[in-house]
Structure 1
Amino acid sequence: MTLPELINYFWIGNTYEDFCKPRGLNCDAYAIEIFAQKPFGLNSKLEFFKEEETAGKTQYSYNGSEFYSLFNFYYFLNAVREGEKNETLTDIDLALRLLDFAERNG
């Protein structure tokens, strides 16, 4: 899954619980982190990990690949909700803004 795909997943009405359950993620976990492979871009593969699993690391090895923390899921969901209020904002626009945030704050 890529960041634009994840944004669209929520913009079409799916819930956080809809997302977590089939992936074996605990919806009540303190924080689920969104990681991506570098270089960050619209087509970067995303992975999702519980914060306890990554121990707060910004780089995490998984299935032989290196992933880098973008932000936690709560930050992402807030950005998605705010993005829905702006009728001219596209999934690509929001994804680029989120990637820029991750690059500046990573």
Structure 2
Amino acid sequence: MKLIDLIPYLRNDNRLKELYAKEKLNLESEAVLIYMTGSLKLESELTFFDIEETEDDLYYKNNGISYVQLFPINYAVELVNSWLEVQDLSDQDIAKSLLNYRIKDA
């Protein structure tokens, strides 16, 4: 899954529940974190880890693969919702905005 593919799940609570089920994400975790494989790019594959596993590290290595944290899922949902309150954005615009926000502001 790439960032553009994640956006519909972040826009809608019911879809987010589908994502948790589809990816078998831990509902009991303090936070589920979105990581990008290799680097922060729109083309990077996404992986989800529990905060308890990564200890909230920005850079995490698992099974020889390096990951960079984007955001906790809940924070990404908050960002998307706040942006959509102001203007209607396409999934592509939201994906770019999340990435730019992470690179420049977070």
**Contact between 1:36 and 1:68, CA under 8 Å: does it hold in 2?**
yes
What's the TM-score, normalizing by structure 2? 0.82
State the AA in 1 paired with 2:43. N
What is the CA RMSD across the aligned residues, in angstroms? 2.1
Q: Which residue of 1 aligns with 2:17?
A: 17
In structure 2, the residue corresponding to 1:29 is in which secondary structure? coil
1:21–1:27 CA contact under 8 A, matched in 2: no
Deviation at 1:73, TM superposition (A): 0.6
Three-state SS of the structure 2 residue aligned to 1:60 is strand
Contiguous gaps of at least 5 residues in structure 2? none
Q: Name the residue aligned to 1:52.
A: 52
Going from structure 1 to structure 2, the CA distance change for 1:37 and 1:79 (only over 3 Å counts) comes to same
Q: Which runs of 5+ in 1 are unaligned?
A: none
Supply the distance in 2 between the matched residues of 1:103 and 1:66 (Cα, whole angstroms). Answer: 17
Q: Which amino acid aligns with 1:53?
A: E
Deviation at 1:17, TM superposition (A): 2.0
1:1-106 paired onto structure 2 within 5 Å: 1-11=1-11, 14-85=14-85, 86-87=87-88, 89-105=89-105
Cα drift, residue 84 of structure 1: 3.9
* Structure 1 residue 65: Cα displacement: 1.5
One-letter amino acid of the structure 2 residue matched with residue 51 of structure 1: I
Counterpart amino acid of residue 7 in structure 2 = I
Counting aligned pairs with the same residue, the percent is: 30
Q: Offset at 1:97?
A: 1.2
Normalized against structure 1, the TM-score is what? 0.82
